[in-house]
Structure 1
Amino acid sequence: MGNSNEEKKEEVSKLVNEFIDLFAPIETNLNEILVFVDHRTGAHYFESHIKASKFIESSTTDVPLDPDEQGEYRANREIVNDHVAFERMKSDASQRRSFSNIVAEFNPQQNPSSPLGVIGGQHRTEAIKEALAQGIDEFHEVKVYFALDQEQRLDVQVVSNTVIAVSGDLYDRMLETVKGPELRKWCHQTGLLAKESDFGDKAQRSGPITVRLARTFIINFYEGVKHSRQPFDTTDTSPIIPSVGIDGVEWDKLRSHKPSIWEDSRLSRAGMQFAKLVAAQRKAIESRKGPADYREKAMNIAILAAWAYVAGFLTDNEARLKRHFALSEKTSGDPLNSAALAKGRHKTDPENYRGLGTRTDAKERGRLVELFYYQAEKGDGITKSAIEVAIAKYYAKQSQLEVQRLEKGAK
């Protein structure tokens, strides 16, 4: 352990000297080269002040979270060019404001031409760059990390982005990148994510699938498989939606117990078929110029969870499974019959309920499972009568389950 610590110190010392030679921070003149250690993670850092010209010349905001294994994917969010706060930031920079709280990693081995990778503060960096183009060359404070390992890099990414309220979906994406590329590769292979693209950093209409949605699909597929040998009408068939922005227990448990899921042809087939449904739904609504929420109906997390659950439940029933998958081929109107879903409601629903497939609560997910399962039995697509039957079946099942719970408690 002692040798390892000494080697770390030597590596950090070497990198600090390289950094000073390249960026000439103002601390050099003040003889205040103080390298600190974050005792939470053991990460080494130096708080420096650098001229904009040197900072911009040798820095980049194009920073991978896992440069060794997944160098093509990024943890940073996209620049939001039209945000009022960014416009104010650029205006301030043009008026010679000196920025602080920029977080970066000095890694000349990874990127010799731009060795300073900006982890937090990409908007400030862009503002500094635009001001520099106008001849404004101020000093800016940069917290520079040295010799980070992968876990330390993730920690710095999360902490630095939390300053500007990192989204839960971006946090999930960073955590999943650390776990490895498997989920992303699976989404590429199934068509749920465009080739060479990354997960969305926030849930948004028409945006790429998020880590949370991808995890939800897989978790519920296996929930369905788990219950597939039980009678559907007397089994609690409630899909799960994992929390966003939290390293989910359900997901870790599944990956631990089923390490070979990425080679499971049943799961891959279901993923590809759902991708077809998403594409068919979008195409149908685009051709009719229908409402935007109808276009993205398949990506409603409750619909996605319920569809995946039923796909898992029907893995051993090929005839019904084919009818479930064939939903994407129902082209009269749109595959999910969004207009009919919008009218689907129960007498107990509140006045502001906008119809089936608009909410994400457990009741909504349970109703949708009943609908997809019933559709797979009949194969007639999503119809007004199918929706009515599914909602009725949901409440009948809930009553039966309540009886079972009471009988169990009475013993």
Structure 2
Amino acid sequence: MNLDLTPADAAFRDEVRAFLDENLTPGLAEAGRLTTSVFTDRDWNLAWQKVLYKKGWVAPSWPVEYGGTGWSEMQKYIWASECTRAGTPNLSPMGLRMCGPMLMKFGTPAQKEFYLPRILSGEDYWCQGYSEPGSGSDLASLQLKAVSDGDDYVLNGTKIWTTHAHFANRMFCLVRTDGSGKPQEGITFLLLDMDTPGIKVEPIITLAGEHEVNQVFFDDVRVPKKNIVGAENQGWTVAKYLLEFERGGAFAASLAVGLEKIREITASERAGDGKRLADDPAFSRKIAEAEIEVKAMEMTEHRVMAELAGGKNPGPASSMLKARGTEMRQRLDEIAIETIAYYAGVEQMAARAPGSNVEPVGPADGMVFMPTYLNNRAASIYGGSNEVQRNIMAKLVLGL
């Protein structure tokens, strides 16, 4: 596998860097730098999305006919890597990475015509109605009931850990339409408006002190049956396809950036004996081991890219990348906390707000280490727990 860039790809990389230099404003860059989870705050991620939408670069993985870029797999990888290195805000993945590709495969012509342009422009901001109390990784046990009533379903129940539901105007949702057979066979995939009467969003404040997730309650919520994606009671197939896009992704670039930030701090921070952390043999070994793991992740991503270039979908490889990437991210978080020691315990919500004039306590990059660590503890659970991912790999790859 030749990892050297072709002259055309090198020229594309330079074009991307020039675009980022020109369009990534100091405010947007600061918002990206201060992001502590998968999600940048809505105002900042939508501001960046509008910049990319104007350029025509908002959905690199979409087919050209739906507004995609037509880039090769290597160009997509270059784009993702350069955005990570530049520190751009994270675009919300719910519409662009998950709902959009799902609609392209399973949506009706009317659904595609209506929703896809609104996802691209950011006019529709989506949240995901999957998990429920007691039905997280065991998603097939969900109980949000959808009772048929003429041309509508009437929904009663609740969803939990619903990221950015307090911002979203749309939700893609799994509901229980039949409880008589196997759990997977009675689930239907619905699209719904968040301003529908009977929907109530209650905040959940995370350990990091942030309002990112919510619990959503449904009390006799009427959803038109025309909003079904796929067929009634066949939503499990749609949901599995969508999760392939939630689980995959380019981890290596973000891991490399995180590792570099740690290296920079170790060059100045002191260990208990007064010496630089960079000169501590035991700590240096941890950094070296992590660097090897990051390089291995990069090689794996390149192999997956080769398959994608051949027209295959992520398949079980997305489970492998999700499991390994999230565990490596958590490992780097732990090293980062060790790097700044007691500074990690300082609560700095005011200093972490973009545009704040509050001086950070300790290294400036370090003030996001603890909230990032806390947020990323969930990374090996959401999108299907890593234990579930290993079961998928055992079945689809090893045939067990």
User: Which structure has more RCO (C-alpha within 8 Å, separation ≥ 6)?
Assistant: 2
Larger strand percent:
2
TM-score under structure 2 normalisation?
Answer: 0.24
